[in-house]
Amino acid sequence: METLKLKYSLKDGDFSNAGNASSNIKKNLKMLGINAAVIKKMVVSIYEAEVNMIAHANGGVIEVFIDEEKIKAILADVGPGIPDIDQAMKKGYTTASEEVRQMGFGAGMGLPNIKKNSDDLKIESVVGEGTTLTITSYYKS
């Protein structure tokens, strides 16, 4: 099946470029003629995750695979990992430092928001090694 692949590297703490990957992904999705509402939700998810990776997880790599049915984003960081995924899925739960929160990040809405805006969210995490999110949106339904 025809697949378009996009890849972005994110540097730890690079707040000034936070959102650039999601902006570029959005541009590409628009050129594929995918429904605007689908794009909006997918980009909200990826943006959340992108900011998470820059703010809390030492950066990482975003890979996006788009085929004729779905958009799949794999976001792999090398951060501290999530000890309790169920707790992290609760609204308002945050491990962010005061400093990060003052910059407007780390309100504890991240993972719940990603979940809400995607058709499928898979979280794999190993404490001390990193977290990989796989966000999928089926645009052709």
Partner 1 sequence: MIKNEVFNHMIKIDEDQCIGCSHCVRVCPTEALRVWNGKATLDDPKCVDCGDCERVCPVKAIVVTEDFTEFRDETYHVALLPSVFWGQFSPDISRRRITNAIIEMGFDEVFEVEESVEFLSQELENYLADKKGEKTISSFCPAIVRLIQTRFPELVSSVAHLKSPVDISALHISRSIKKERGEDAKYQIFYVTPCAAKAAAIKNAHGDEKENPITGSVNMDVFYNKVTQLLQGNEEEEGEDIEDNLSGKSVGWSLRGGEGNHIQGRCLSIDGMNHSIEFLENIDKEEFKDIDFLELKACDQGCAGGILNPQNRFLCVESLKKRAMQNDQKQNPLPDLLLEEKDIQIEEIEEMSVLALDSNPSQALKMMNKTRRMMCYLPGFDCGACGAPTCKSLAEDVAKGNAILSHCVFMQREMEKHHRLSPEHAFNIIESIWGKDRLDKDCNKKGAINDYS
Positions that interact with partner 1 (CB under 8 A): 2-4, 18-19, 22-23, 26-28, 30-34, 36-37, 39-40, 43-44, 47, 51, 66-68, 103-105, 139-140
Q: Are 137 and 119 in contact (CB under 8 A)?
A: yes
- Indicate the residue among 67 and 119 with the shorter CB distance to partner 1: 67
- Of residues 8, 2, 128, the one with CA closest to residue 73: 8
Kindly state the smallest distance separating residue 22's Cβ from partner 1, in Å.
Answer: 7
Whole-number minimum distance, CB 126 to partner 1, in Å? 28
Going by C-alpha positions, the residue among 70, 48, 36 that lies closest to residue 116 is 48
User: Residue 66 has which token pair?
Assistant: 């788009």
Single out the residue of 110, 109, 132, 137 nearest to residue 122, CA to CA.
132
Closest approach of partner 1 to the CB of residue 84, in Å:
26
Return the number of the residue (51 or 88) whose C-beta is nearest partner 1. 51
41 vs 130, beta carbon nearer partner 1: 41
**Least distance to partner 1, CB of residue 95, Å:** 18
- The three-class DSSP label of residue 96 is coil
